[in-house]
């Protein structure tokens, strides 16, 4: 299954994000399919077999740091304005073999032409246990790292990770980050993470990981898997209040 939300260019937008305001997207992947170590039930890019780092689909044809820098500079030269330059697009940016070099290239352009704009990363956290990736993430102004589940069983049911992705590696890597914000998708339906037991397990991990804050959100677009649906704002707010009460971590709700 493919989606209309696949990105066609390296730089796209700006789009109005419910979490980030005016956000200029950076997409490091092809316009034909997503490249990601997850195949989440809710992914707006559609369902697709999740990618391993050594996946043949990841061999060659990558955009280079110079291409990303040129595309970004071109966007700003044409009068574009935004609040965030956001690595998102059609997959997981940290899987790019030159992710660290691309971060530095984007920082250089940003510092020159738009010094007030934040560099932001939306990541699924699957490579954060690798020291080189973690060092690159530490160069991002606003790293927003995903954790949708509090245990491995639900992690597999919601995120459908590639075979080489381990829940324990995600948790251990996040513990080593200098600082990060957490993003969590809350779902209900055939597969749910909004029940009391599921929420309790997730809150336990939040308490251990201690992110700067948690961004709690729910479905905003049609999902590839039709057995799930969005969660009401009252339930989101109840989860947020419980999480902050038990962990001290602030939680912002984006219904």
Residues 55-91: tens digit of each pLDDT: 666 666 678 999 999 999 999 998 888 999 999 988 8
Share of the chain above pLDDT 70, in %: 92
In a domain, 63, yes or no: yes
Whole-number mean pLDDT of the chain? Answer: 91
Q: What is the DSSP letter of 58?
A: G
Give the pLDDT score at 4: 38
Give the pLDDT score at 2: 29
- List the single range of 6-10, 47-51, 160-164, 210-214 with lowest mean pLDDT: 6-10
Give the chain's domain count: 1
In a domain, 144, yes or no: yes
Per-residue b/e over 133-172, b at no fewer than 16 CB within 10 Å?
Answer: bbebbeebebbbbbbbbbeeebbeebbbbbeebebebbbe
Q: How far apart are CA 40 and CA 160, in angstroms?
A: 6
Q: What is the DSSP letter of 91?
A: B
In a domain, 130, yes or no: yes
Give the pLDDT score at 54: 64
Give the pLDDT score at 52: 66
Give the pLDDT score at 221: 85
Q: How far apart are CA 46 and CA 90, in angstroms?
A: 10
**Burial of residue 244, with CB atoms counted within 10 A of its CB: 0-12 exposed, 13-18 middle, 19 or more buried:** middle
Highest mean pLDDT among 23-37, 52-66, 201-215: 201-215
Give the pLDDT score at 165: 96
The pTM of this model reads 0.92
In a domain, 6, yes or no: no
Q: Residue 73's domain spans which residues?
A: 11-254
> What is the average per-residue pLDDT within 211-237?
95
The residue with greater pLDDT, 160 or 255, is 160
Within 44-166, residue ranges assigned H as helices are 65-77, 99-113, 131-137, 152-159
Give the pLDDT score at 91: 87
In a domain, 35, yes or no: yes
Give the pLDDT score at 250: 98
List the one residue out of 146, 199, 157 whose CA is nearest residue 39: 157
Count H helices, E strands: the chain? 7, 10
In a domain, 165, yes or no: yes
- Contacts with 136 (C-beta within 8 Å, 6 or more apart), sequence order: 94, 99, 100, 103
- Contacts with 236 (C-beta within 8 Å, 6 or more apart), sequence order: 186, 216, 217, 218, 253, 255
Within the chain, residue ranges assigned H as helices are 65-77, 99-113, 131-137, 152-159, 167-176, 196-209, 233-247
In a domain, 219, yes or no: yes
List the one residue out of 104, 200, 109 whose CA is nearest residue 151: 200
Share of the chain above pLDDT 90, in %: 76
Q: How far apart are CA 146 and CA 222, in angstroms?
A: 20
> What is the average per-residue pLDDT within 216-227?
91
Q: What is the DSSP letter of 35?
A: B
The residue with greater pLDDT, 136 or 78, is 136
In a domain, 1, yes or no: no
Residue 88 belongs to a domain with what CATH number?
A: 3.20.20.70
Give the pLDDT score at 188: 97
- List the single range of 7-16, 113-122, 199-208, 243-252 with lowest mean pLDDT: 7-16
């Amino acid at each position: 299954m493919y989606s209309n939300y696949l990105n066609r260019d390296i730089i796209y937008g700006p789009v109005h994000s419910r979490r980030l305001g005016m956000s200029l997207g950076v997409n490091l992947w092809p316009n034909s399919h997503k490249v990601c170590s997850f195949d989440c039930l809710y992914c707006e890019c559609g369902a697709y077999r999740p990618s391993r780092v050594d996946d043949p689909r990841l061999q060659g044809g990558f955009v280079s740091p110079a291409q990303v820098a040129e595309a970004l500079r071109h966007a700003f030269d044409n009068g574009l304005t935004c609040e965030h330059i956001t690595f998102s697009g059609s997959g997981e940016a940290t899987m790019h073999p030159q992710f660290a070099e691309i971060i530095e290239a984007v920082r250089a352009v940003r510092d020159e032409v738009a010094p007030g704009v934040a560099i932001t990363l939306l990541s699924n956290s699957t490579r954060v246990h690798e020291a080189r990736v973690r060092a690159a993430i530490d160069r991002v102004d606003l790293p927003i790292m995903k954790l949708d589940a509090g245990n491995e069983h639900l992690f597999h049911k919601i995120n459908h990770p590639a075979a080489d992705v381990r829940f324990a590696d995600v948790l251990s890597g996040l513990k080593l980050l200098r600082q990060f914000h957490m993003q969590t998708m809350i779902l209900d339906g055939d597969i749910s993470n909004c029940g009391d037991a599921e929420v309790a397990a997730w809150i336990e991990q939040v308490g251990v990981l201690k992110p700067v804050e948690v961004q709690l959100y729910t479905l905003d677009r049609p999902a590839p898997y039709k057995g799930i649906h969005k969660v009401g704002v009252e339930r989101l707010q109840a989860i947020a209040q419980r999480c902050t009460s038990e962990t001290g971590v602030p939680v912002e709700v984006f219904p």
